Amino acid sequence: QGIGSPSVYHAVIVIFLEFFAWGLLTAPTLVVLHETFPKHTFLMNGLIQGVKGLLSFLSAPLIGALSDVWGRKSFLLLTVFFTCAPIPLMKISPWWYFAVISVSGVFAVTFSVVFAYVADITQEHERSMAYGLVSATFAASLVISPAIGAYLGRVYGDSLVVVLATAIALLDICFILVAVPESLPEKMRPASWGAPISWEQADPFASLKKVGQDSIVLLICITVFLSYLPEAGQYSSFFLYLRQIMGFSSESVAAFIAVLGILSIIAQTVVLSLLMRSIGNKNTILLGLGFQILQLAWYGFGSEPWMMWAAGAVAAMSSITFPAVSALVSRTADADQQGVVQGMITGIRGLCNGLGPALYGFIFYIFHVELSELPMPESPSGGSVVAQYPLQQNSIIPGPPFLFGACSVLLALLVALFIPEHTNLNVRSSNWKKHCGSHGHPHSPQAPGEAKEPLLQDTNV
């Protein structure tokens, strides 16, 4: 039953191998996508990614609840297998490849199972560091794999890249079968297969129904929705946009991903900690949203490759927003409400992963951002021969969805201005609880005592 005792390193290796395999396919996927859907490339890309995201959002709570009963190892195997199942179909049948990608969203929730696996084997004070290690591994797997895939595809052909990615996916499956130990051994009993699963556990909207119960949590959730919706759409279409509209070569796209990944890791570790200590939690969120507005506006109006590189550096700085929001949530929520509030944020992000790509694809379609031909392959002299793009000649805004995203993040920034600092929230909530408990008039004799007690509780802050 696995090698050694369960550890975070087992989860890290599973994540790294899965996303390294998909990272290799970055350049071949962009080519196959345009060859399969030459007339409505961005629309079909948005629909494929949108269906996958919505299915993942709907299925994640059910798979999480089932893994609580049947164990993590079997569901790690299930999610990795179905997430990587489309890879060999890329060269066999592109239509089946994209169809299976859409349907695989039902099981494409490896992160949910991995986080549950990590939670089983770590103490509460170790959990944030362990989650950070898993997230950093995900970013690291995408730093070099697109560049390797682009190089192998140019030298040996895309078929070798697909074979290599399939082999790495099989290696990941074998690693789970052989090396990953179960983190819930005491619950792996034959009788547990008949254990009931409540609909509340499997309801993906259960956490979202609680959003309106607290005005502060409502403001935070609206901020997350308005800022992550364009981010999810951008992730689904931006590399295709660079390849097809901006004329980037496969190597340039891979280099862009690598540089962006490295800068994001630096921003989320060194820069984030410095900002949190110097300007505070809320101001860090506002700064991150400001960077995101600048980045999306630059993507929307940029018409030259150097503008994309400059905006990419700004995009790395905007990645500090979500960790800062998670920290604010953990500080403002009560100790017994941490899981509920974090679940709301995760649910909203999952919903955005489905709505964002479909929205971006639809906006590209409305503004007729399509191409009639692919960029030509590199010339024998080594230079990139790029086809003429009629879009750049008759369009004022090269990237309309990015401009829409900038407006959405601007609304998120305005909403975030009304989020109070966590220290003020603690004082206010303490006063609110005291007044609710006494049911007295503010000018009653008990009022001075009630006013002093929250101050005494918060003096250590």
Q: Answer yes or no: are the C-beta atoms of 323 and 268 closer than 8 Å.
A: yes
Identify the CA nearest to 17 among candidates 204, 167, 193. 167
* pLDDT tens-digit series, residues 10-38: 888 998 999 899 888 888 888 888 888 88
Q: Kindly tell me if the per-residue pLDDT of 414 is higher than 90.
A: yes
Range 362-374 average pLDDT: 68
Q: Dihedral (C-alpha) 90, 103, 241, 150: value to the nearest 10 degrees?
A: -30
The encoded tokens of residue 22 equal: 């998909």
pLDDT: which is higher, 365 or 389? 365
DSSP state of 213: G
Cα(325)–Cα(27) distance, rounded to whole angstroms? 33
Range 439-448 average pLDDT: 41
DSSP state of 271: I
pLDDT confidence band for 59 (50 / 70 / 90): confident
Q: Say what the pLDDT of residue 325 is.
A: 79
Cα(201)–Cα(60) distance, rounded to whole angstroms? 10
Q: Answer yes or no: are the C-beta atoms of 378 and 250 closer than 8 Å.
A: no
pLDDT: which is higher, 290 or 202? 290
Q: Kindly tell me if the per-residue pLDDT of 174 is higher than 90.
A: yes
- Least confident segment among 169-178, 274-283, 369-378, 415-424: 369-378
Cβ neighbour number for residue 72 with a 10 Å cutoff: 27
Domain 1-184 has CATH 3.40.50.300: no
Q: Say what the pLDDT of residue 168 is.
A: 94
What's the residue count for the chain? 461
Cα(104)–Cα(205) distance, rounded to whole angstroms? 21
Cα(230)–Cα(237) distance, rounded to whole angstroms? 11
The encoded tokens of residue 318 equal: 């905007």
Confidence (pTM): 0.71
Range 135-141 average pLDDT: 77
- Domain at 205-371+398-420, CATH homologous superfamily: MFS general substrate transporter like domains (1.20.1250.20)
* pLDDT tens-digit series, residues 324-356: 777 777 666 665 555 566 667 777 877 888 888
Q: Say what the pLDDT of residue 396 is.
A: 59
- Tell me which range, 49-53, 245-249, 409-413, is most confidently predicted by mean pLDDT: 409-413
DSSP, collapsed to helix, strand or coil, labels residue 6 as coil
Q: Kindly tell me if the per-residue pLDDT of 429 is higher than 50.
A: no
pLDDT confidence band for 81 (50 / 70 / 90): very high
pLDDT confidence band for 443 (50 / 70 / 90): very low
Runs of H (alpha helix) within 213-337? 215-244, 250-266, 272-278, 281-301, 305-318, 321-332
Cα(16)–Cα(313) distance, rounded to whole angstroms? 24
State percent of the chain over pLDDT 70.
75
Which ranges in the chain are annotated with CATH 1.20.1250.20? Answer: 1-184, 205-371+398-420
* pLDDT tens-digit series, residues 266-301: 887 788 878 888 888 788 889 999 999 998 888 888
- Least confident segment among 46-55, 139-148, 195-204, 250-259: 195-204
Identify the CA nearest to 80 among candidates 183, 1, 168. 168
Q: Kindly tell me if the per-residue pLDDT of 7 is higher than 60.
A: yes
Q: What is the mean pLDDT of the chain?
A: 75
DSSP, collapsed to helix, strand or coil, labels residue 67 as helix
Range 383-403 average pLDDT: 55
Range 392-408 average pLDDT: 73
Cα(390)–Cα(409) distance, rounded to whole angstroms? 30
pLDDT confidence band for 454 (50 / 70 / 90): very low
The encoded tokens of residue 161 equal: 């890249």
Range 313-324 average pLDDT: 82
